[in-house]
Structure 1
Amino acid sequence: MKHLLSLLLLTALLYGSAFSQGASFEEAVVDVGNIGLTITNSGFFGRANVRNQPTGPPSMEYPLDSGVEHLFEAGLWIGARRSDGTFTVRTGSQTSSRGYQAGALGFELTPNEIITERSTLRDSEALSSLAISHQDYLTSYVDTARVLPNTFIPHPDPAGRLGLRVDQKTLAWNFPFTEAFVIVQFDIENISNAAWDSVYVGIYSDLVVRNVNTTTESGGAFFNKGGHGFLDSLHAVYAFNAGGTEESVNTYGGYAFLGAEWEDPDTGQRRFFHPNVAETYVADGLPAPRTNPRWWNFGGNPDPELSRPGTDIQKYDRMAQPYPNPRNYTLPDGSFDEAAYEEARRNWRETLRTGGQRSEGNYLTLLSAGPFPRVEPGDVLTVTFAFVTALKPEAYQGLEGRPIDNEESQALLRSNLLWAQRTYRGEDNNYNGILDPGEDINENGVLDRFLIPEPPSSPTLRVELEQGKAVLYWARDAEASIDPVTGRRDFEGYRIYRSDPGDDLRGNIANEASLIAQFDKPGNRTGFNNGLDAIALSEPVTFPDDTTRYYYRFESDGLLSGWQYLFAVTAFDEGDPDAGLPSFESSRTANAVRVFPGTPPRPSAEDGKVGVYPNPYRTNAAWDGGTNRTRKLYFYNLPPRAQIRVYTLAGEIVASFDHDAATYTGSTRWYNDFSAENRVLPGGEHAWDLLSDNGLNLATGLYLFTVKNLDTDEVQTGKFVIIR
């Protein structure tokens, strides 16, 4: 024991400085909008085990709570030539079947700070005057640690160090036009004592678009259905499900280079870096800024350019050299065979786009930007990307639309990418990094990014259930919103949305919700001009568990018991028709509430006898999911606290569970796969998945049940039939 303690003490002395610095590994989920993205303080993104553990945090899920994932894992790559002539690439993630492993090669960025959150939302616990978006996450990491913080695990590949610190910032908003992307900004500081030359910065990823709740495929079959592509004008790589047949909405997922800034050592000035300004770089004798998309096979390929890059030289080459490489299309006379090159590029893009249809779509992706000519010691290189998702339009939903990839199917993806660009640009309307005349909206003399017109804030919403009816109450906080661009308080009105039965099974219930009512201010050119009197309460109301003052009320009746409905109330502004500024609306997902109509708790049988529906239950009822663990049968008219038991005709107990109206929010797999935490249940109903206590399916037949009131000991009985 003394020898062990001495060894630990010696190790601590040898590595003490490294052991005491930095922060432990952390991860957080960006989820303020309609995308759920896991971020870390180690330079990588996503949750690699999301296929095997779909009920945990999302990896890169869109729509949120749909089960449709778009990412296995992604990581920051930084490549450069050091002063000793060595080309090195520092990677936050690389090709691995297991994803992140502490201390493993390829995971070369070490936590330096914990993850902190800031928000501009007034009701957020992270509210801060320093926040930029509705959900900022800030952290930092380095490549200089000797061991991983708070461990004795050696840092991988110390010989490949660049000497860098990265301050990472993620930004997300819940506006309808921003809720499908997350912006990631990297401030990369050279903390070594020597310059870096010919620097490239990129994001490596394993993009995989599958519904992890409904697919039955795993292993290679899960990963090889991908279609891949690149939108040249938007500098964006993307992927889609081209061959999977699970029940799911059809979506795109990818990421784009938005822009960068670096300090030009020749002038000492910060300089904007983007392909849009390539001509100015060439005119100054510098390499033109460009983006470079690369793909390679997970399982290897006879072509070395399409196999995994193993060395830093190979990784740097992937960042710097395109594929197909134009150098290979030089004719004997030295001229460039443009026709042959363009044909090769078209064929390669077609292979990527259609590979998933043949179960050959298991590609890894890298999108890099560069070259940044030189980064001196102490200088900071700021590079910004955006993770972007989108639905395919309705015409491209269903299995027939799944493999289609064209401009029409990409319409919403392109729109979301343009909004990511617009959000990043802020006042930079010309996208040239210069504050041109007429662009200084807030007149502060500074080019402000992330400055966009904002709709009013989302109203605070509460939903109360009555049998067959949902009663919506909301506050008037949205009416005080001030647009940061115009400086005006421009609230106009409210819109009320509701989904229909069955909209939840495709995983897109929020977007399926349709407008059922609108109320807005009279006397202008926006909206219906029908006023707010029809929904305004004579006096604001509060609730025993809620001190919020609610000023508006709306009833939605005719709801069917057992089905899930989503309700949302949005606020919209009046816009400015004369200036060509459209009316903007708050997000449906920001305050969406899911409700399950049904019976309230019944203290005794005299108030209503317990029962079961549907009865008989036929396999694959309309509201069931696609597996035997996502089925539902409801017990109704239950007491506030009850014990429920199900028996065979022989008297054998096959299932037993308790019900508590005060705490029950749905406990079966169905709720994990097709619902979300913000749901309201009626209190007198309990869903059962028709599985025995041993997890077995019940056979066709007649079953008996008892319901015992745990407050009065009253017992009620009944029976139901299962037909398979």
Structure 2
Amino acid sequence: MIENISGLIGPPRTFKKLFMGVYVDGDCGHRSIPSYWSDDITGFLRVNSDGDTVNVAWIKDNDGDNGLTPGVTGIRVLFPDPKTISYNWWDPPTDWGPTNPANPFDYSGHPDTDAKKYRIMSNGEIDPDQTKSNPPPGIPIDGMDTRYFLSFGPFDVPPDSTLKLTLAYLGGQPEGENDEFDDLGINARWARDVYDNPPADGIPDFSGPPPPPSPNMEIIPSDQTVTIRWDNSSESTIDKFSRLQDFQGYRIYRSRSGILNEMEKLGEYDQVDGFGYDFGFDALNPITDPANGKVWYTYIDRGLTNGEFLYYAVTAFDSGYAPTGLESLESSPVINLKQVAPSTGPEQQQAIQEVLVVPNPYRLSANYVDIGWERGTADTDRRIDFTNLPPRCTIRIYSLAGDLLDTIEHDYPAKSAIRHSESWDLVTRNIQAIASGIYLFTVTSETGTYVGKFAVIY
């Protein structure tokens, strides 16, 4: 779980070297166990099993309550990246936890003044893990009613400004050869990557791992037949989250309407590696282009009706990522969706001319009100226009993952005031303002379908 936290810092003066903290009293355990909260242990995970710095403060039940609570939870600071992190834990009967004699600001006993509290939060001390294998002196090895305090900073906050924080609350479960801390460390890295997709640029993304890109595709109509060809460009991509070349296979789709949920899967082909069906690609007649080394695959759809318009797409899917429980991801059919009709004559092209989106990209920083493009600054005042439309058509807007966000019916002059244009307020059918990103759209009329894309930058 990734949580954004913000608050107005006042009164109107500058705060220098401000430190923030998160207090956690986990009370880990199963409620059926008497005094389940009395045997917690805590610690600090600096580096995960892949060597990534994660800096996670964690807490768990010491013995797992006979398998009822085997996992661990923890907190990581995602934004802003603090220069100093302090981690301290304690138990009420023994007061403040272990101290470092070499650090004069790591107090023993309770920090009962503001000055002591500030020094505890800013001293950069990381208490030793409370574990059976390495118990701190004088601390019971079976755990206690432990709680911890994760603090971080410093931050300089100008007058009347907002301090924004992003924290990740994480979990870890033992699975196979990996223990709960291996899982916690992997999840900590993935939380960072979801917040700011790799390679990190400091701009929040809040988006998960993408599927492999769709391949380059072409379709060739002939008498009662359509030939679909695509290249192997999807196969060499590296997943930035798992850091693996995780391409698995292709799926071929056909539709008479161009609507995603009405697409029929004609075939699925995957690598022979023990994942999925292991069909292999030999049936697709792979041919290597000697000019550039690309491999091209071919699928032939036969027994069709000449003159009937059909839509085709080829998607790529991956193998998922077992350590995080991520299932296989598939690219959207909208990305390379093409329309064609089998014919005894020359190849037919889609009849709809290019549809333009204005402005593209849409920038939140642009002042569209002053130039008269938008009426106000509310979410519902935002506007893009689809132009060069046929008089009657249906516009469908999708995310890159293929989720239908909204549908607009353009019908001039019955319902639409402008013959060749239709506006959209960037609000989905679920009444949610869309986020920054790239979006796909289709325009479908009785003469064909046009597929395009536009960008939104906030």
Shorter-chain TM-score bucket reads: 0.3 to 0.5
TM-score, L = length of structure 1: 0.24
Highest RCO, 1 vs 2 (Cα 8 Å, sep ≥ 6): 2
TM-score by length of 2: 0.36
